[in-house]
Amino acid sequence: MGSVMQATELMDTNSTVQSAMNPSTTGVSRAPQICIIGGAIAIVLGFVLSSSSPAGWLQDYLVHYTFLVSITLGALFFVFLQHLTRAGWSVTVRRTAELMAGTTPMLVAVAFLPIAVTLFIDGLNLYPWAASDFFLHHAELRHKTIYLNIPFFLLRAAFCLAAWWWLGRFYMTRSLAQDTDGDPRWTLVMEKWSPAAALLFTVTVTLAAFDWVMSLAPAWYSTIFPVYIFSGCVVGGLAGLILILLLAQALGFLSHRVVTVEHYHDLGKLLFGFVIFWGYIAFSQYMLIWYGNIPEESQFYLPRQQGIWLYVSLGLVFGHLLIPLVGMMPRAIKRNPWTLGFFAVWLLVFHWLDLYWLIKPNWHPTVGPLSLIGGILGGVGVFGIVIAIVLKGLTRYPPIPVRDPRLNEAIHHEVV
C-alpha cells in the first residue's frame, strides 16, 4: 500500500484512539450501578417467583451459575482464539471480551461456594451421588465412586476455577501492560501461550460439563456432552459480547469509531457459525442415542420429551437453531445494530433455556409458567451483573488495547 495512504490511515487511527480514550461521559458513570441493582432485584424476584423451597432455589441457582460461567468461558475462548489465530480485525472488541473473562473469575469462584457447601447437606445437595446412601441403593454405579466422590469433585472444581481465574487474568493483565509500555512483545507472549490456554480450557470445560451438569444424572453418560456445553458457552459468550458492545456504545462507554459495523458483521458471522455448531453437536448427541435406543442412554431424553419439556425441547430446536439459522443468514441482519442486537438477546435467552433444559428436568417432570418466568428473570439479572462488571471495567481501563500493534488494522477493518 502506498506510504501516503498508510500515513493518513495512521493519523486517522491516532485521532480515533484519542476520541476512544475520552468517551462522552455524560450520564455514563451511573449505568453500572443501575445494572447491578437492577440485576440483583431481578435475581431476587426471579427466585421468589420460581420456587418456594430451598431445594428449588438451589436448582435455579445452578442454572444461573452455569449461565454465568458459560458467558465467561465463551468470552475467554474468544480472547485466546484471537491470539491463536493472530487476528487483527478483533483488536478493538478484544478488550471488552478480556474484561468479560478477566474481571468475573472472582465472582465465578465465590458463587460456587453455595453449591460446594450444600454437597455436605443430605436432602439439599444437588447431586444424587453425593447423598450418603446413594451407592447403597445403586450397586450398578458403584464403580463410579472413584470419580463421583465429594473430595475429588471439589478438587476438580478448584482446579477448573483456578485455571479460569488464571487464564482470564493472564490475558487481561498482559493486554493492560501493553497499554502502558506499548511493547509488542506482550502480543507475542499472549500468542505463544494461546495453544496451552486452549488445551487447559478444553480440559477444564470437559471436567466442568461432566461434573456440574452431567453428574446430576449419575447413571447417564454421553461422551459428546462437554462439546455440547462448549458450543453453548461460545454462543452465550459471543451473544453476550455483542450485546455488551452495543450497550457500551449506546451508553457512551465505547467510541463508535473504534467498533464499527464491520466488527459487528464479523462477530455476527462467528455467532451464526457457532449457532450451527451447537445444532450440529446437539443433533449428533441426540441421533446416536435415538438410534441406539439403549435405556441407560435414552433415559436422558425420555423426561425431556414429555409434558411441557417436550415444548421446551421443540422451542430449543426452533429458537436455538432454526430461527437464528434462517434469521441471521442475510448479511444485512448482521450489519444492523438493532437486528443483530435482537438476535444477541434472543440467543442469550435460548442459551439460558438450554441450560435450564439440561438441569431442571432432573428433578421436575413438569414446570409451571411462573417458575419458567422467574428463572428467565434470574438469568436476566445475572447478565445485568455481567454488564455492570464490564462497563465498570471499561471506565477503569482503556476501552480498547490502545497500543496493540494490530490496532490500526482493526480500526480500518472492512468486510469485503
Partner 1 sequence: MNDNSHSPTKPNSHQPHYVGVVARFGSPADLLAAARQISAAGYRYWDCHTPFPIHGLDRAMKIRPTILPWLVAGAGAMGALGALVLQWWANGVAYPLNISGKPFFSLPANVPIIFELTVLFAALTAFFGAIVLNGLPRLLYPGSTAASFARVTTDAFLVSIEAKDPQFHPERTAEWLRNLGAESVELCPAPEGDTTIPVAIKRGLLVLAVLALLPPLFIALARQHTTETPQEKPRIHIIKDMDFQPKYQTQAVSPLFADRRAMRPRVPGTVPFDPHWEPPPEGFLTGKIGSDYLTEFPIRVTEEVMRRGRERYDIYCATCHGWTGEAGPYDGMTSRRARARGEATWVPPASLTGQAVREQPVGKIFETITQGVVREGVYSMPPYAVQIPPEDRWAIVLYVRALQRARAPYPEDFQEAAATASTAGRGLIHDEPMNSNLAKDRRP
Alpha-carbon distance 73 to 392, whole Å? 19
Alpha-carbon distance 335 to 264, whole Å? 6
By CB under 8 A, which span of 37-45, 89-97, 101-109, 286-294 interacts with partner 1? Answer: 286-294
In the bound state with partner 1, the residue whose beta carbon lies nearer, of 144 and 412, is 412
286 contributes a contact to partner 1 by CB under 8 A: yes
136 contributes a contact to partner 1 by CB under 8 A: no
In the bound state with partner 1, the residue whose beta carbon lies nearer, of 250 and 322, is 322
Nearest to 389 by CA among 100, 117, 90: 100
5 contributes a contact to partner 1 by CB under 8 A: yes
331 contributes a contact to partner 1 by CB under 8 A: yes
In the bound state with partner 1, the residue whose beta carbon lies nearer, of 159 and 301, is 301
CA pseudo-torsion sign 249, 68, 274, 159 = positive
Please give the grid coordinates belonging to residue 226: 462437554
In the bound state with partner 1, the residue whose beta carbon lies nearer, of 136 and 416, is 416
Alpha-carbon distance 241 to 247, whole Å? 10
Count CB neighbours of 221 within 10 A: 14
Per the rule left: phi > 0, alpha: psi between -120 and 50, beta: everything else, 131 is beta
Contact indicator for 108, 68 with CB cutoff of 8 Å = yes
In the list 121, 302, 322, 329, the residue contacting partner 1 (rule: CB under 8 A) is 329
257 contributes a contact to partner 1 by CB under 8 A: no
In the bound state with partner 1, the residue whose beta carbon lies nearer, of 133 and 414, is 414
1 contributes a contact to partner 1 by CB under 8 A: yes
414 contributes a contact to partner 1 by CB under 8 A: yes
Question: Please, which contacts does 262-266 make with residues 24 or more away whose CB atoms are closer than 8 Å?
Answer: 262/89, 262/413, 262/414, 262/415, 263/89, 263/90, 263/92, 263/93, 263/410, 263/413, 264/334, 264/335, 264/337, 264/340, 265/331, 265/334, 265/335, 265/415, 266/89, 266/90, 266/413, 266/415
Minimum Å gap between C-beta 288 and partner 1 is 10
295 contributes a contact to partner 1 by CB under 8 A: no
CA pseudo-torsion sign 86, 89, 93, 95 = positive
In the bound state with partner 1, the residue whose beta carbon lies nearer, of 331 and 396, is 331
291 contributes a contact to partner 1 by CB under 8 A: yes
Per the rule left: phi > 0, alpha: psi between -120 and 50, beta: everything else, 217 is beta
Alpha-carbon distance 182 to 176, whole Å? 10
Q: Which of residues 209-248 bind partner 1 (CB under 8 A)?
A: none
In the bound state with partner 1, the residue whose beta carbon lies nearer, of 204 and 285, is 285
By CB under 8 A, which span of 48-56, 82-90, 92-100, 287-295 interacts with partner 1? Answer: 287-295
Nearest to 132 by CA among 140, 122, 143: 122
By CB under 8 A, which span of 2-10, 105-113, 143-151, 372-380 interacts with partner 1? Answer: 2-10
412 contributes a contact to partner 1 by CB under 8 A: yes
293 contributes a contact to partner 1 by CB under 8 A: yes
Minimum Å gap between C-beta 229 and partner 1 is 21
2 contributes a contact to partner 1 by CB under 8 A: yes
Minimum Å gap between C-beta 230 and partner 1 is 20
Nearest to 134 by CA among 201, 217, 221: 217
Count CB neighbours of 14 within 10 A: 13
Minimum Å gap between C-beta 413 and partner 1 is 9
283 contributes a contact to partner 1 by CB under 8 A: yes
Count CB neighbours of 282 within 10 A: 20
In the list 113, 136, 146, 416, the residue contacting partner 1 (rule: CB under 8 A) is 416
Minimum Å gap between C-beta 4 and partner 1 is 6
By CB under 8 A, which span of 139-147, 195-203, 206-214, 288-296 interacts with partner 1? Answer: 288-296
User: Letter for the amino acid at 236?
Assistant: G
In the bound state with partner 1, the residue whose beta carbon lies nearer, of 269 and 412, is 412
Minimum Å gap between C-beta 275 and partner 1 is 15
Binding site for partner 1 (CB under 8 A): 1-2, 4-5, 283, 286-287, 290-291, 293, 329-331, 412, 414, 416
